[in-house]
Amino acid sequence: MKAFVLIFISVLFLSCQSDTKTTETVADDTVSPSVFKADIEALDYVEYELDAKAATTLSAWDKYSELSVTIAQLKSGDVSYFNNEMKVIEAFFNEFKTSMPEAVKTPSILARALALETKMLKLQSALHLDHASEKEQLNAVKETLVAFSNFNLQINKKFEKEAQNIVKP
């Protein structure tokens, strides 16, 4: 009888220990790195805003306003926009490029828009990968913010160049 009780306690002990390991493994699999507002605010990059003249010219461009709101949400740590499928981002940028005002539709600005689209798609992928580290996710966020800043800078350069009145002799 003592042998039976000893075997029963051993089996019980081993099964309890086994359940604990399984629970820990499941908990580790469900935890994924996430991007936080403080981490995003700590990113070091040069941020360019639109000049007043560019802002007034682009005020009627709804897709740019929508993009600005998305980037502002990203800066605040809200990555919910990037929980969508890639098709949503691709469709947005198709409409973004087609609705672009003629005043800013130049090859250099279109190139910056394409770079921004690429970085946003990369960010969306990094946020959805299970094995992506927090550092990789933050790097993708930084690349997206830099791409948006460079897009704004290119628009500013276009308006600045148009404002110059250079008279050739």
What is residue 13's predicted lDDT score, i.e. its pLDDT? 63
Burial 1-17 (b: 16+ CB within 10 A, else e): eeeeeeeeeeeeeeeee
pTM here?
0.75
| One pLDDT digit (tens) per residue for the chain, 169 residues | 677 777 767 766 666 544 444 444 443 333 334 557 788 888 888 899 999 989 998 889 999 999 999 999 999 888 888 888 888 899 999 999 999 999 899 999 999 999 999 999 999 999 888 888 888 989 999 999 999 999 999 999 999 988 887 777 7
